[in-house]
Every structure is written in C-alpha cells, then in structure tokens.
Structure 1
Amino acid sequence: MQLINDFFNWLNGIVWGIPMIVLILGTGLYLQLRLGFMPILRIPQGFRMIWGSRGVGTRAEGEISPFAALMTALSATVGTGNIAGVATAIAVGGPGALFWMWMTAFVGMATKYAEVVVAVKYREVDDKGEHAGGPMYAIRNGLGKRWGWLAGA
C-alpha cells in the first residue's frame, strides 16, 4: 500500500508541480504574444458590442442580443467552483492572492479565446441546420483520424 501511495505522491508532484505551472502559464503567454495581446486590447470594442444599440426591431426570429449571448457563455464558464475558489484563495492566501489571480487571468484570456476559436472552427452543422460541437468534435475534425481515439476517451 505504501508503494502505491508513494507512486501517486510522485505522480501528483509531476502533474501539479512546476512543470504544469510552466506549461499552463507558458501556453497562455505564448498565445497572448501570438495574438498580439488582442484579448486585452479589444476589451473596449467588446463592451461597445455588448451594450451597443442595434435597434429594437433589427433582430431576426430566434436571434438573441449580444448581452444575452455573453451571459449565456459566462454561465457555462463561471461556476460555483470559480466563485468558491476565489473566496478560498483570498481567505487562505490573503490579498496577495488577488494579484496572482489577475496574472493567471491575463494569460487565461488568450487560452480561452483559442479554445473558443477551435470549437467554432471544428463544429458541425446537422441536416436541420443546428450546430453540434465540443472537445470531441475538435479532436476528431481538427487532429484527424490518427488522434480520433482521444475523442472517445
């Protein structure tokens, strides 16, 4: 039993240690640089799109406002774990934890943007014109047959 415990402690050190931190932050920083800091520089344009007026009767049937689309996307992204995680980080780490949350948000914006671009690019449209997508579609359609087995894992 001690051998199994030691193995999982070793594995935990690799998965949640310095290599993972470097990988996550490095990927986010790389994407931020390659995108030309677009997720940050385009924040004002995003606010104009969300709260800008498109006219009362300009929406087609079934179309939602940009604000409603944002709220729907946020409800799928920000969950109870995020809210409890922030409270726990501040309670355990003090106010300095807020600085590190902002730093990870800085690189996380580019990572989330890249994730959404991949999801939109590799989604499929069925016979009824409805969209279907997600990680399994991105893996299957983006990486090809060689990596398709990951979509079923």
Structure 2
Amino acid sequence: MKTLSVKAGDITREWHVIDAEGKVLGQVAAQAAKLLMGKHKPIFCRHLDCGDGVIIINAGKIIFTGKKGTDKFYYRHSGYPGGFRQESLNQMLEKKPTFPLEHAIRGMLPRNRLGSAMFRKLRVYAGAEHPHLAQVSAAAEAK
C-alpha cells in the first residue's frame, strides 16, 4: 500500500460564505480558520495551502460573551517614547468593525509565509453585502 502524496495540482478551491450575525467571535473564527487551512478536506496536507476561500458577512453584528466589550483591549506601539496605545473592544468595533474577527482568525493560522497566503483568501465585511457573488455562485454550481 502506497502513501498518497498531495501535489499542488490536485487541490481544488471553493468559496464559503459565513454569516456572523448573532454568533460568538471565537466560534466563527475557528470555523473560518479551519476552512482557510483546509482541515475539512480529506487531502489535508500541513505543508501545502490546500484551503478554500472564506467570505464573512455581518462581522459588525457579531456577539461577545461576558464583559469582553469593556475588559478586552487591543494594544499597539509606534516604537517612539510614549507611543503605546490601547483600545477596548467596543471602541475598536466603532472604529473598524471587521478588525476583531480578522485579528482572531490571524491568530489561529500558522505564523509563516503559508499562513500569510491562507489569510489572503479571507474577505470580511461589516454588512450583509459583498462584491464576490461570482465566486460564490460558481462554487454553488459546481456542487
């Protein structure tokens, strides 16, 4: 019996649409990361990008458990003295409603060039409208 080795030409990609309205942030992020990495496929191979594309809509209507809105902070530093900045989750949602979801998904992907390639196949939109109807309809026709 021979071991099957997946080649880049054997990989077929599809697009998945996830509606995040009324869902918990971590559950949506875990589902999206699994689809981006390709772990849902029987030909999953850790050293190849065999994942699918993911479109997430209604990211601004995602819910959080507990007191994360006021107690969870996002930190950054400009590199200059006094350049430390922090924003709460509620402030970030007002400013950039897609950032918390993108940040959570990026944290679940590999930290290398392969993870960057996987993250490029992610599209996140705050509302219900998205411009990728052609990709989604083509994937639906193939099924």
More helix by share: 1
Query: TM-score of the superposition, structure 1-length normalised?
Result: 0.26
Query: TM-score of the superposition, structure 2-length normalised?
Result: 0.27
> Which structure has the greater CA radius of gyration?
1
